[in-house]
Amino acid sequence: MLKKMWGLGIGIIAGTFAYVVFLGVLGSDDFLQSLQINIVSIMVNIALGMKGNEWRENNLAERGYEHKDTVTAANHEGAVALFLKEQQRTGVVQQKTQTSLSTE
């Protein structure tokens, strides 16, 4: 996965699969199953929308990334370049700058 959050993605897929199998075992009518699936899908989307960035931030922190600054740029390469330019302008010298320009 693009953002290296495999556990969350697999958990969502497994949970969805288990829920659909559970509904199939219950054997209720098609309309009720469709309604239940739609309601659960909406709830999952709301949860992902509300907590997704927080989960991403925690994932990056667990992998050793630190928030240094907020910059506005057209893409991630531009953001890294602006950050490094500001570091050089202010005289901050870093022994080792770990930048990953690949999408994580």
Q: Rounded to two decimals, what is the model's pTM? A: 0.57
What is the Cα–Cα distance from 21 to 18, expressed in whole angstroms?
5
- Residues 104 and 3: beta-carbon distance below 8 Å: yes
Assess if residue 98 is contained within a domain: no
The per-residue pLDDT string of the chain (104 residues; one tens digit each, 9 = 90 and over) reads: 457 778 888 888 898 888 888 877 777 678 888 888 888 889 989 998 999 889 888 988 988 988 888 888 899 889 888 888 888 888 765 544 444 444 44
What is the Cα–Cα distance from 100 to 81, expressed in whole angstroms?
12
The beta-strand segments (E) located in 1-104 are: none
Assess if residue 44 is contained within a domain: yes
- Residues 98 and 91: beta-carbon distance below 8 Å: no
* Domain count within the chain: 1
Assess if residue 52 is contained within a domain: yes
